[in-house]
């Protein structure tokens, strides 16, 4: 049988324009939700992980500069995109490796994705908590295909950024995850007066990009080559547009998972005189 190597995977990855990918043994990963492996018929002691970084932004466009939501929320929800893309990849992998077991994950994963991405050589761990890739900086989503096929690929020692401090200096809460503005925009219910002020000062109705945008590696981030992230982009929302959006369209947006009330509350706060 064809060996499960980076070289043999290259034609399939290139056909899908996936240029930030790496292989590592599953045994080198940190298992965080082992039941997901068991559910997919996989064992933590054998097999391999194909780690993928999916770039999502179009950094140099005027629309991108004018948006009122985080860069990651402009395209359709990546969970939908990753499901479609990885499903197609698995069909092709099954043709080359018949009989092997393949399972796709994105976000809801049995492994620590950031650690695995760094160990697979996709990039380095930034102080802002995200993987920094060479081409797309931290503007990537992580996803992976786990298989029972063995690999000879050796894991790398995860590298970290230079700790330049720019992200910490730019962050309104000093990189304190418990007070992160991105989490605040996703909080349900009423916001306190202080929280309302923080959201208005942040200026985005969903998420926050400050720590990523000031990172020196983000200066030359390339636009995504992936068609699914280049289409159906909504940069600037209004409360009226969200109210008028049909349920199916709304369900494919990144802000849908908290329900319509949360994004509407945030937009109305920003739209207040
Ligand atoms: S997303 Fe915003 S608030 Fe959260 S850590 Fe980054 S800069 Fe700070
Ligand atoms: S801004 Fe500096 S410290 Fe923060 S992630 Fe980028 S390189 Fe690391």
Written in H, E and C, the secondary structure of 12-79 is HHHHCCCCCEEEEEHHHCCECCHHHHHHCCCCCCCCEEEEEEEECCCCCCHHHHHCCCCHHHCCECHH
Q: What is the mean pLDDT of residues 180-187?
A: 97
In this structure, which residue's CA is closest to atom 2 in ligand 2? Answer: 164
Q: Assess contact for 256 and 77: CB atoms under 8 A.
A: yes
How far is residue 110 CA from its own chain's centroid?
A: 16
Quote the percentage of the chain above a pLDDT of 70.
Answer: 100
In this structure, which residue's CA is closest to atom 5 in ligand 2? Answer: 126
* pLDDT given at position 64: 86
Task: For residues 68 and 72, give the distance between their C-alpha atoms in angstroms, rounded to a whole number.
Answer: 12
Mutate to test the pocket of ligand 2, among 162, 170, 212 (most ligand atoms within 8 A of CB): 162
pLDDT in tens, 223-273: 999 999 999 999 999 999 999 999 999 999 999 999 999 999 999 999 986
Mean pLDDT of the chain: 96
253 lines ligand 1 (CB under 6 A): no
Q: Assess contact for 149 and 4: CB atoms under 8 A.
A: yes
pLDDT in tens, 97-115: 999 999 999 999 999 999 9
pLDDT higher than 70, residue 91: yes
Give the ligand 1 atom nearest the CA of 183. 4
Which pair of structure tokens corresponds to residue 157?
Answer: 């020692």
Burial class from Cβ neighbours inside 10 Å (0-12, 13-18, 19+) for residue 116 reads buried
| 102 beta partners | 147
Residue 246 designated active-site: no
* pLDDT given at position 166: 98
Confidence of residue 62 (pLDDT cuts 50, 70, 90): confident
Helix H or strand E encompassing 105: strand 102-105
Task: For residues 122 and 134, give the distance between their C-alpha atoms in angstroms, rounded to a whole number.
Answer: 8
Choice among 37-51, 57-71, 152-166, 208-222 with the minimum mean pLDDT: 57-71
SS3 for 62-100 is HHHHHCCCCHHHCCECHHHHHHHHHHHHHHHHHHHCCCC
pLDDT higher than 80, residue 27: yes
* pLDDT given at position 273: 63
Residue found by looking up tokens 């809460």 in the block: 173
13 lines ligand 1 (CB under 6 A): no
pLDDT in tens, 127-173: 999 999 999 999 999 999 999 999 999 999 999 999 999 999 999 99
Please give the distance, rounded to the nearest whole angstrom, from the Cα atom of residue 98 to the centre of ligand 2: 43
Q: What is the mean pLDDT of residues 70-79?
A: 97
Please give the distance, rounded to the nearest whole angstrom, from the Cα atom of residue 130 to the centre of ligand 2: 10
185 lines ligand 1 (CB under 6 A): no
pTM for this structure?
0.96
In this structure, which residue's CA is closest to atom 1 in ligand 2? Answer: 215
44 lines ligand 1 (CB under 6 A): no
| Closest residue by Cα to residue 51 from 77, 28, 32 | 28
Q: Assess contact for 237 and 219: CB atoms under 8 A.
A: no
| 144 beta partners | 51, 105
Task: For residues 263 and 133, give the distance between their C-alpha atoms in angstroms, rounded to a whole number.
Answer: 30
Quote the percentage of the chain above a pLDDT of 90.
Answer: 95
Write out the residue range of the structural domain in which residue 240 sits. Answer: 1-273
29 lines ligand 1 (CB under 6 A): no
Main-chain dihedrals φ then ψ at residue 122, nearest 5 degrees: -75, -25
Judging by DSSP bridges, how do beta strands 102-105 and 21-25 pair with one another? Answer: unpaired
DSSP structure class, residue 187:
-
182 lines ligand 1 (CB under 6 A): yes
Residue found by looking up tokens 């034609």 in the block: 11
Q: How many domains does the chain have?
A: 1
* pLDDT given at position 207: 97
Q: Assess contact for 21 and 153: CB atoms under 8 A.
A: no
Q: Please name the residues in contact with 200: beta carbons below 8 A apart, sequence gap of 6 or more.
A: 269, 270, 272
Residue of 60, 63, 84, 107 marked catalytic: 107
Helix H or strand E encompassing 248: helix 247-251
């Amino acid at each position: 049988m064809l060996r499960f190597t980076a070289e043999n995977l290259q034609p399939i990855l290139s056909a899908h324009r996936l240029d930030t990918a790496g292989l590592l043994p599953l045994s080198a990963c940190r298992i965080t939700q082992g039941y997901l492996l068991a559910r997919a018929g996989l064992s933590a002691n054998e097999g391999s992980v194909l780690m993928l970084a999916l770039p999502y932004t179009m950094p140099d466009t005027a629309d991108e500069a004018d948006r009122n939501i985080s860069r990651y929320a402009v395209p359709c929800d990546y969970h939908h995109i990753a499901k479609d893309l990885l499903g197609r990849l698995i069909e092709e992998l099954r043709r080359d490796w018949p009989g092997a077991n393949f399972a796709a994950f994105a976000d809801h994963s049995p492994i620590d994705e950031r650690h695995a991405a760094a160990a697979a050589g996709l990039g380095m761990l930034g102080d802002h908590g995200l993987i920094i890739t060479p081409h797309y900086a931290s503007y990537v989503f992580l996803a992976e295909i786990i298989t029972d096929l063995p690999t000879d690929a050796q894991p790398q020692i995860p590298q970290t950024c230079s700790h330049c401090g720019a992200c910490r200096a730019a962050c309104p809460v000093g990189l304190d995850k418990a007070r992160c503005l991105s989490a605040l925009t996703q909080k349900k219910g009423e916001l306190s007066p202080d929280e309302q002020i923080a959201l208005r000062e942040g200026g985005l109705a969903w998420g926050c990009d400050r720590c990523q945008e000031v990172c020196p590696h983000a200066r030359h981030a390339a636009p995504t080559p992936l068609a699914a992230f280049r289409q159906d982009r909504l940069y600037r929302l209004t409360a009226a547009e969200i109210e008028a959006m049909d349920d199916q369209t709304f369900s494919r947006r990144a802000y849908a998972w908290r329900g319509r009330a949360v994004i509407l509350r945030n937009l109305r706060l920003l739209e207040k005189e």
